[in-house]
Amino acid sequence: MVSAADFACIREFLRRRSGVVIDASKGYLVEARLLPVVRQHRYTGLEVLFGRLRQGGDLALERDVLNAMMTHETSFFRDKSPFETVKKILPDLLQRRSVSRHLTIWSAAASTGQEAYSLAMLLGEHFRGLLAGWRVRILATDISDVVLERARAGSYSELEVARGLPAEYRQKYFVPLLGRWSIAQDCRKMVEFRQFNLTGSWQGIPACDIVFLRNVLIYFDIPTRKAIVERMRTVLRPDGCLFIGGAETLLGVSDSYDRIEGVGCGYYRPKPPR
């Protein structure tokens, strides 16, 4: 069991390092996720891990704890509606970008890469001709270097490709390799993976046409959500589109966006300056 003092320790560590806030009822989750780290570092128990964490200075341990405590649930074409909405709004958006011929999409909590690669497949399947000669950039970021390593590898199990991926897409955009499925090169080259902390510096984030910030705001407290959403306005183009999770809302977080109805879901666009 995780003691009250140890729970307070991990809670403060996560808040300071990532902005993530865990509920007081999640002691069981802390134990389940950190026991593998205990074994990995050959500690005798959780109390040793927390003792080392309090001492500070062990960057490898801090990295492993942070990676273990992050939630990485994802799948190909997760929730479907945002991707159908992108299909609907993209022709008009491309028309408005016809002079620059640049399109930038940001998957801001990319996890193991399924969301970013889904966007690449969507563009290849439905807009390949329209985007010929364009500079298309899909930036995929996550705080965890462990999941980004998996994302860059682009190799998925049978179970992972079965979750949300149409069978015909598996045949067109994946290559079987050593009992797994490897993302094809034409999709892989569209995606750039980068480690990034939403509560840290945003230097280097480009101006974006579409941002997927899905199922991540729920892990932050209200002040942190507000800060992230307001900073998003500095990189989202005035006519750009922000997608958040289906269970998330900007109500009580920001009144700087208009909600626009899409295909089975809504998305947000920055309100014009007054």
Q: What residues have CB less than 8 Å from 234, skipping those under 6 apart?
A: 202
Closest to 259 (Cα-Cα) out of 268, 272, 250, 270: 268
Q: Half-sphere exposure (CA, 13 Å, Cβ side) for 147?
A: 23
**If DSSP codes are grouped into helix, strand and coil, which group holds residue 67?**
helix
Catalytic site includes residue 142: yes
Out of 78, 142, 209, 214, which one is annotated catalytic? 142
Catalytic site includes residue 6: no
Beta bridge mates, 268: 242, 259
Rounded to whole angstroms, the Cα distance separating 221 from 60 reads 27
174: phi then psi, degrees, rounded to nearest 5: -130, 155
Closest to 69 (Cα-Cα) out of 151, 124, 136, 6: 6
Out of 17, 33, 97, 137, which one is annotated catalytic? 33
120: phi then psi, degrees, rounded to nearest 5: -65, -40
Q: Which amino acid is at 263?
A: V
Sign of CA dihedral 196, 200, 201, 206: positive
Identify the burial level of 177 via C-beta atoms within 10 angstroms of its C-beta, where 0-12 means exposed, 13-18 middle and 19 or more buried: exposed
Active-site residue numbers?
Answer: 33, 142
